[in-house]
Amino acid sequence: MSATVSSASEIKANVKEYILKKFLPGENPDMLEDSTPLITGGVLDSISTVELVAFLEEQYGVEFEAHEMSADHLDTLETIAATILAKSGA
């Protein structure tokens, strides 16, 4: 089911909720800020990165390429939102 892409803040909130639930269970939501490093900070490893990408593709109807599974595109909530917006042409 694809969600409508409306704004960066909505994307960030949605992705934040997913990451907290999936990879950081029990974590204080305030600890996960927009600029918290996810890949370079060790929150996401290879398995969780592919899971996150699968989630993003399903949620926003976008398609990732292999070279985009990197810190340049997925390291923070901000870069994730920017990547989704760029892909959806918003």
Interface ranges with other proteins (CB under 8 A): 22-28, 31-32, 36, 40, 42-43, 45-48, 50-51, 54, 64-67, 69-70, 72
The CA distances from residue 35 to 4, 7, 23, 30, 73, in Å, are: 24, 17, 17, 12, 13
Smallest separation (angstroms) from other proteins to the CB of 55: 11
Smallest separation (angstroms) from other proteins to the CB of 6: 26
The CA distances from residue 5 to 11, 27, 30, 50, 86, in Å, are: 7, 27, 24, 21, 11
SS (H, E, C) 17-43: HHHHHHCCCCCCHHHCCCCCCCCCCCC
Smallest separation (angstroms) from other proteins to the CB of 24: 5
Residue closer to other proteins (CB basis): 6 or 41: 41
Residue closer to other proteins (CB basis): 13 or 50: 50
Residue closer to other proteins (CB basis): 48 or 88: 48
